[in-house]
Amino acid sequence: AYHGWQRQNNALTIQQLVEEAWEKTCGKAVYVSGCGRTDAGVHAKYYVCSIDHVSSIPLDRLPLALNARLPDAVVVRKAVLVPDEFDARFSCVNKEYTYLIHNSRVRDPFSVSRAWAYPQKLNVAAMQRAARDFVGKQDFAAYFFFCAKIKTRISLC
């Protein structure tokens, strides 16, 4: 239902929703820095973002307050105090991507838009050979765009 993380002029994004929820909850417009970009249709089980603003709402209550203003599909799980030099994007040390294949001739309503439906028999040996090229530490820096670095006070997960 959303067009990725990063705010866009022509589409609704997760960053926009979180920034709007923060402003309504805490009374101040903020820029929310995310740990990376996601595309439309991509789902994140765990995503870190940071905000350069301290709220008077206790950290353990902040997720509840924000979630009351967010749609059901977007949830803040926790809020933690972080050092000023922390930036969700530039402090990120690990990213894990999971690609799912629903390998069946029968559809699965729970994997619609979350897994690639492939009804034919998979060539597992060829997939394992190809997967070897991804084992180890990889540098995908060329895939990320740079944005302004900000100081942060709160990280939302």
Residues facing residue 41 across a β-bridge: none
If we measure between CA atoms, which residue out of 22, 30, 29 comes closest to residue 65? 22
39 is catalytic: yes
Amino acid at 21: A
Spatial separation of the C-alpha atoms in residues 112 and 108, rounded to whole Å: 7
Nearest 5°: phi and psi at 32? -105, 120
Q: Which active-site residues does the annotation give?
A: 39
